[in-house]
Structure 1
Amino acid sequence: MNLKNPYAEPGVFDVARNAFAWLVTGPHPVSLDGRDVRGLPPRLVPLDEVGALLRAKSCPQETRDAVWTELVTRSRAEGSTWTVACVGLALPVMIPVAAKLTNRFRGDVHDIHAAVLTGFLEALTDVDLTRLAILVRLRWAGFRAGHRALRQALDAAAPVADLGVRGTTEEHVGGHPDFVLLAAVDAGVITEAEAALIGDTRFGELSLTDAANARGQAYKATQQARRRAEARLATYLGTVGDECASLTRDRRGEPRNGTRRSVRGAEKSRRPVSPRPPKSGVGERGARLPACPHPTRSELEPGAVQEASTCD
């Protein structure tokens, strides 16, 4: 179904979903041999069953990465069928990315959705399979590509700002943590790796332990790196009170470990970046922030799917 209008022409994700359905339909569905992939049942496992196993909360990160290593390796070696398989299994994370990018976009969303898919496909060719959270990094590649397309579309509409189009740009850049993190990177407040670390472990479901392993650091070093980056981010945003706390609340609405201390420290030394600092609260509150850059690939990308249960 089209993300904007169920009666509109099919989009790239509709085509991808139908193509994947063909792979798993019939008496001989495309399958992975579970005996070759750690964590799968020791038999031929159809791809739709593989997808269900990966989406289960009980699925360990090691199994997810083992499956994606096999899928990406086959896509690179054989293309075609296995590339379609990768796209089909990634739809549960790419469709929310596309919806997030275009939920308030008034123009044609097809180009932006296509950009998300293109970014994902390009990342298939060079994503590092030796590092954790493969799907998280593929998802972030799609987000970055879609965000570039969104910015270009909004910039093209800027000349008609008198008709109220420019306001759409401001709405988009401040409504979601990913946009806020990209804006902070553009302003030189945090690095891409720091933005990814915050996004992965605060808004995604990657544990700080797994993030530390992916960065090649000790747990404490990664924890301190995140705290320092969050303090600079809080200062940049000019947040106070519960607005600042909303940045680092988990899905239960409670601050995660170490968050409140770093935020309070940032508030004491805060200097507003302008006489009228943005009234920013990240998440569902929305904000008006400086325009985001054209992002580039980071070392570790935020994910929107459960890749591992948090343990920090």
Structure 2
Amino acid sequence: MSVSDATDWPSSALDAAATAFATLTCEPAPLALDCAAFGPDTGLPQQVMPLPRLRTWLLRHPRAYTARDEVWRELIRRARLDGPHWVVAAVGMAMPALQQYAARLCEGYSGDPADVDAEILTGFLTALRDRADLAKPAPYASLCKAAWRAGRDLRLQHQEYLPVEDIEHVTPGSRTPQVPYGHPDLLVRRAVNLGILDPEDEQAYIDVRLGHRAIEPIAAASGVDVDALRMRLTRIDSRIAEALADGLLTGVASPETLARLRMRAERRGLQRAGRAAATRREAAREHAAAAA
């Protein structure tokens, strides 16, 4: 049976996602993960496990933190890189928590509970797509927190009074913005023009650092290893922070400074070209060895 075969499709976003998950994970070919790939130290059964069975195992072992982190890093990677069915899979694996949040947030709620369900799912999907950082611990907790906050924010919007910051002390009138007050994209463009940021890294930096996009699809599209791109962006962070502290991005750079920055950029370009050439040579040797 396919998802489209369902005649009574649920009106609730969470119920619809649960139905889609059940369809994708039913026999004879349910979506599954090979838990042996995570290693025996996780405590997971060392075998291929259909996702519903794996979800049950994780629920029965709430203190298996290493196992949960490994499973969810893999689910997030697949959701970002391997197609929509893995997005549905990730939502289905989190469904017990998402449904619990919806039930709690709908207690005493006068609006449509389906709206709460939709906001919870939207918050989860946004974090799944871009916000959850796989380099940090507890990625599942990050997804759940985003889902809860999205539903809670909708609930707060329907309250008669919303808490706001105390504005009694704020002086009316216009105020001069703090430097740098240009749009971040403009500062990044100036960093490129000065040679602080290499042109080939500009879009990746904007997407990850300013757009808060997930790094895995960007690395895959660029043909770069995720860890390599993460280290490259960290080095760019340091260079931009130094340039901001020196006033280079908000002031005028001297000819001597421009020459020094361009020389550094040229050196980085030569180093990158050398690494790329070495990678191509190694790939050619491996291809020749395989063909022999």
TM-score (norm 2): 0.49
Q: Tell me which protein shows more helix as a share of its residues.
A: 2
Q: RCO (CA 8 Å, sep 6+): is it higher in 1 or 2? A: 1
TM-score (norm 1): 0.46
Q: Between Structure 1 and Structure 2, whose CA radius of gyration is higher? A: 2
